[in-house]
Amino acid sequence: MKPTFALEAEHSDDALVSLLTAGWEAHLREGVVAYDPATAACWDTPPFRYHCVPERQWRPKTDPEAPPHPEGLSRPHVVCPFDSEEFVSLRVLAHVAREGRRYMIACNKFPVTARHFLAIRTPDAPAETLSQRIHGPEELEDLVLLLTLLGAPFHCYFNSNRGADGSAAGSSVNHWHVQFLSYFEASSSRLMEPPLWRREERGVRVGAVQDWPARHVLVEAAATDVRPACAVIWKGLEHLSAGHVAYNLEAAPTTDGRFRLFLFPRRYAPPTYFGPAGALSCDIGGCELGGHFVLPQTEIFDWIRAHPEKAHDLSYRRLAESTRELAL
């Protein structure tokens, strides 16, 4: 039985981080993790960074141009590799739990950065909770509490199922899971800069990062205010879920001991063409909405390095076209 850690902890748990780090290093040596992301070539055109990871093309991925499922976010979960006994016995490093909800933690086989993990709801959970969407505010709280348990430099990401309207959030497996990874060193992303605050209620600030192309709602609060902060974001999620619109979430620690929770409402957008090198789908999620684009196509990566100004404009448009405004 793998160890279980309580999500209610008030600060990071060094034992959990050490266990996961050791597990990551072992799974990388054994080939369970398909490649070392530290070898990825990178190119900066601030505030964007492009990461060339050709091995990512082999990860499971749905066709972004296939007709959307009529049930959208609510389409039921079907059996997938996360449910198998082999996955549970060989891939799971630890569990985290809170109020009867249990999540197993495993290395991401196709990572973006070093120490890229997944927190996955266990296959014995109620079937109605296994689809890849947030089912209630308590799950949002779990995501933020997981971030607290891990501490810096980790960020957490949730990419929802595809919406019935064709909006997409980069999710490839319809099984409830959160990605968390050791964040990029010397990141040029502006998401952690001072934002424009629109209001503050009982210590919870609501606003957005000015002039960031990916439209979003930002909530910031102290670690003691997880519940009211998540309640604000949950209002937005209820609205998006009712319309079967895809979304992305990011939870990030701040340097002063607080946390930020970003909600990115999505909308359908066609692929963006980077000259003759090829097209990139707008079905992107997680760190890409923060300006870290992970490219499996070396041809497009080389074109971007040769045309940085054009690449910047195309990337800006790609983020703007694939997100929508949401008032909270």
Report the 10 Å Cβ neighbour count for 28. Answer: 19
For residue 48, the surrounding DSSP H or E stretch is strand 48-52
Mean of pLDDT values over 89-117 = 96
Percent of the chain with pLDDT over 90: 86
pLDDT at 286: 87
In the predicted structure, residue 9 carries a pLDDT above the cut 90: no
In the predicted structure, residue 70 carries a pLDDT above the cut 70: yes
Residues 278, 297: contact at Cβ < 8 Å?
A: yes
- For the ranges 61-75, 146-160, 201-215, the lowest mean pLDDT is seen at 61-75
Name the CATH topology of 4-321: HIT family, subunit A (3.30.428)
Rounded to whole angstroms, how far apart are CA atoms 232 and 17?
29
The dihedral through the CA atoms of 292, 77, 95, 100 has a sign that is positive
For residue 102, the surrounding DSSP H or E stretch is strand 101-107
Q: Taking the model in full, what pTM does it have?
A: 0.96
In the predicted structure, residue 88 carries a pLDDT above the cut 80: yes
The mean predicted confidence, pLDDT, of the chain is 94
pLDDT digits (tens, 9 = 90+) for 220-268: 999 999 999 999 999 999 999 999 999 999 999 998 889 999 999 999 9
Q: List the domain boundaries for the chain.
A: 4-321
Q: Which residue has the tokens 């590799």?
A: 81
Report the b/e string of 280-298 with b at 16+ CB within 10 A. Answer: bbbbbbbbbbbbbbbbbbe
- CA 146, distance to chain mean position in Å, is 13
Rounded to whole angstroms, how far apart are CA atoms 31 and 84?
19
- Beta-carbon contacts of 66 under 8 Å, excluding residues fewer than 6 positions away, are none
Mean of pLDDT values over 194-199 = 95
Rounded to whole angstroms, how far apart are CA atoms 191 and 263?
12
| Distances 314 to 16, 99, 105, 214, 280 between C-alpha atoms, Å | 40, 44, 36, 13, 10
pLDDT at 72: 87
The pLDDT-based confidence of 64 (bands split at 50, 70, 90) is low
In the predicted structure, residue 68 carries a pLDDT above the cut 90: no
Rounded to whole angstroms, how far apart are CA atoms 111 and 183?
12
Mean of pLDDT values over 110-128 = 96
